[in-house]
Amino acid sequence: MTRPTTSPGKPLDNARWERFAQLVVSGVPASRAHAEAGFKGTDKSHEANSSRLIRADRVAARIAELRAPALQRLAKGAEEAIDSATRIVREAARVAFGDIRDVVTWDGERVHLRDSADLTADQAATVKSIKTKRTTRTSKDGEEYVTEEREVQVWDKLSALNILKSRHPEFSEKIDARVLHGIVRVERGTRSLT
């Protein structure tokens, strides 16, 4: 009997061994793949012989070679999922722990926006929108002038905290955060932290 050989990227010389490897990689159970590859026998002999064949060096190497691209795609997908999850947590943390005073300052009379060029990426990430409304008015003297009104919205901190809470299950049942009249009240168990 000629011993089937394998070279990387090439099918096995034995067509039945190659078909068996292809079927196993596609998800067909080994005993059924043994029968479908053209081997003769009973259910019991297919089970025993497929067990031996799947462990044969050349067949095992071919199966591993055929599975490699799928495993690489799976690994890449897992890596991307981890990267996405990390980015989500990072963005939620930026919003949850951001401080509006880094973007806007105010005194008794005026609100001042910081120049966006002076903001760090973390500070800028807290800003949802900035709207400017210009209105042309006429003074008592009949002269026109323009007034400017600005509105700064930041992303919802409580939603960001809830995202972080969902990513860290150790906090899920222990912390209860509520907003009541604009005040965030956080409770752990029965003890208030506000």
pLDDT at 177 over 80: no
Q: Residue 122, Cα to own-chain centre: how many angstroms? A: 20
pLDDT in tens, 17-59: 999 999 999 999 999 999 999 999 999 999 999 999 999 999 9
Question: What are the φ and ψ backbone dihedral angles of 186, each rounded to 5 degrees?
Answer: -115, 130
Q: What is the pTM of this model?
A: 0.47
Structure tokens at 117: 């060029």
Tell me the domain boundaries of the chain. Answer: 1-91, 156-194
In sequence order, the 6+-apart residues with CB closer than 8 A to the CB of 166 are 172
pLDDT tens figures, 90-146? 888 899 888 888 988 888 888 888 898 999 999 999 999 989 899 999 999 999 999
In 3D, which of 122, 124, 126, 179 has the Cα closest to residue 154?
A: 126
Q: Is the pLDDT of residue 182 over 70?
A: no
Residues 6 or more apart whose CB falls under 8 angstroms from that of 134 comprise 146, 147, 148, 149
Nearest to 150 by CA among 139, 136, 138, 135: 135
Residue 118 contacts residue 57 (beta carbons within 8 Å): no
